[in-house]
């Protein structure tokens, strides 16, 4: 279902009316985690000032350590819905458990399946059944074939509104948190008609790499990028070191305004 063999045209997925597909490079930005109403609103306004048309933010956080902040749950979803109301930005947020899919879908415009759940087949089937677009991150240890097969689990339930997200894979390299596999973008786009975006924040894990990796994403033909921003990253409850700050946004806006045109997109 996701293969390009039976569907040669590349697809565009619409999230609350915002297109992600071959004609444009969509900027999704926001806080890694929803912490407070004020922090989420400030991050959303930062995102908007850089040209973001979709808001990201996690209310359910799949953390490596069980002692780390796990997210606000439904209270976080309510904050996201309020901030959507205030800013007009449709919301992309992660769901980590099949039992929560209907609840998260009742607030979100797009459901995110994270790298740690990328082969949680019950979750994939559940998000495929609920009628909302899905962003499927690549498993950090998954081959491109395994990633596409994970997408197939969603599609098989009748939902073809799927966006693939390359977010870095595990390699021997320790200088970056993960290794961004830029070649995954053209490879996946050749094999599948689904849009493919890049997460330069979670791949590098470092603020200083986000803009260089964003440029790489646009240059390699990604259909969008998803970027963490935070008004006060030193106080962030999750992944502060990779969040862009106010001072980075002028350059991010410039990159997103100028680079897509060079590769023939808007
Ligand atoms: C995220 O985007 O909030 C996230 C946890 O990403 P990943 O699943 O890629 O680690």
pLDDT at position 219, please? Answer: 97
Contact 125, 95 (CB under 8 A): no
pLDDT at position 40, please? Answer: 98
Average pLDDT for 232-259: 96
How far, in Å, CA of 38 to CA of 231, rounded? 10
> Counting Cβ atoms within 10 Å, is residue 41 exposed (0-12), middle (13-18) or buried (19+)?
middle
| CA-33 nearest atom, ligand 1 | 3
pLDDT at position 35, please? Answer: 98
Has residue 266 got a pLDDT over 90? no
Residue 261 tokens, joined = 């045109």
Site to substitute for ligand 1 among 167, 197, 213, 226, most atoms within 8 A of C-beta: 167
| CA-61 nearest atom, ligand 1 | 5
Average pLDDT for 178-193: 98
| CA-116 nearest atom, ligand 1 | 8
| Ligand 1, CB within 6 Å, residue ranges | 32, 58, 62, 94, 114-115, 137, 167, 199, 202
| CA-140 nearest atom, ligand 1 | 9
93 Cα–ligand 1 center, Å: 10
pLDDT at position 171, please? Answer: 98
pLDDT over 90, % of the chain? 99
pLDDT at position 239, please? Answer: 95
0.90 surpassed by pTM = yes
As a whole number, the mean pLDDT across the chain is 97
Nearest CA to ligand 1 atom 8: 114
Site to substitute for ligand 1 among 137, 184, 225, most atoms within 8 A of C-beta: 137
pLDDT over 70, % of the chain? 100
What would the pLDDT profile of 117-175 be if each residue is shown by its tens digit?
999 999 999 999 999 999 999 999 999 999 999 999 999 999 999 999 999 999 999 99
Query: Predicted ipTM?
Result: 0.99
| CA-199 nearest atom, ligand 1 | 9
41 Cα–ligand 1 center, Å: 20
44 Cα–ligand 1 center, Å: 18
How far, in Å, CA of 156 to CA of 2, rounded? 9
- The per-residue DSSP string of the chain comes to --BSSS--SPP-EEETTEEESTT--EEEEE-SB---HHHHHHHHHHHHHTT-SEEE-BSS---SSTTS----THHHHHHHHHHHHHH---EEEE---GGGHHHHHHH-SEEEE-GGGTT-HHHHHHHHTSSS-EEEEPPTT--HHHHHHHHHHHHTTT---EEEEE--B--S--SSSSB--TTHHHHHHHHBSS-EEE-HHHHH-SHHHHHHHHHHHHHHT-SEEEEEB-S-GGG-SS-GGG-B-GGGHHHHHHHHHHHHHHTT--
6 Cα–ligand 1 center, Å: 31
63 Cα–ligand 1 center, Å: 9
Residue 148 tokens, joined = 């596409």
């Amino acid at each position: 279902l996701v293969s390009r063999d039976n569907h040669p045209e590349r697809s565009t997925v619409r999230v609350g009316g915002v297109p992600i597909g071959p004609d444009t490079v969509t900027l999704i930005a926001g806080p890694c985690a929803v912490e407070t109403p004020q922090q989420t609103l400030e991050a959303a306004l930062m995102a908007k000032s850089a040209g973001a048309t979709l808001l990201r933010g996690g209310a359910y956080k799949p953390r490596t350590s069980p002692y780390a902040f796990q997210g606000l749950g439904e209270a976080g979803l309510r904050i996201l819905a309020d901030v959507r109301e205030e800013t007009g930005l449709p919301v992309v947020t992660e769901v980590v458990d099949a039992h929560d899919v209907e609840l998260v879908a009742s607030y979100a415009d797009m459901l995110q399946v994270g790298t740690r759940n990328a082969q949680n087949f019950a979750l994939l089937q559940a998000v495929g059944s609920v009628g909302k677009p899905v962003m499927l991150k690549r498993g950090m240890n998954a081959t491109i074939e395994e990633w596409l097969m994970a997408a197939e689990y969603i599609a098989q339930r009748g939902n073809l509104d799927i966006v693939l997200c390359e977010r870095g894979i595990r390699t021997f390299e320790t200088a970056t948190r993960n290794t961004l596999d830029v070649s995954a973008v053209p490879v996946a786009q050749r094999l599948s008609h689904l849009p493919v975006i890049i997460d330069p924040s979670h791949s590098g894990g470092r603020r200083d790499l986000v803009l260089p990796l964003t440029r790489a994403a646009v240059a390699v033909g990604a259909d969008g990028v998803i970027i963490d921003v935070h008004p006060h990253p030193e106080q962030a409850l999750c992944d502060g070191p990779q969040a862009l700050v106010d001072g980075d946004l002028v350059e991010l806006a410039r990159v997103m305004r100028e680079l897509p045109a060079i590769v023939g997109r808007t």
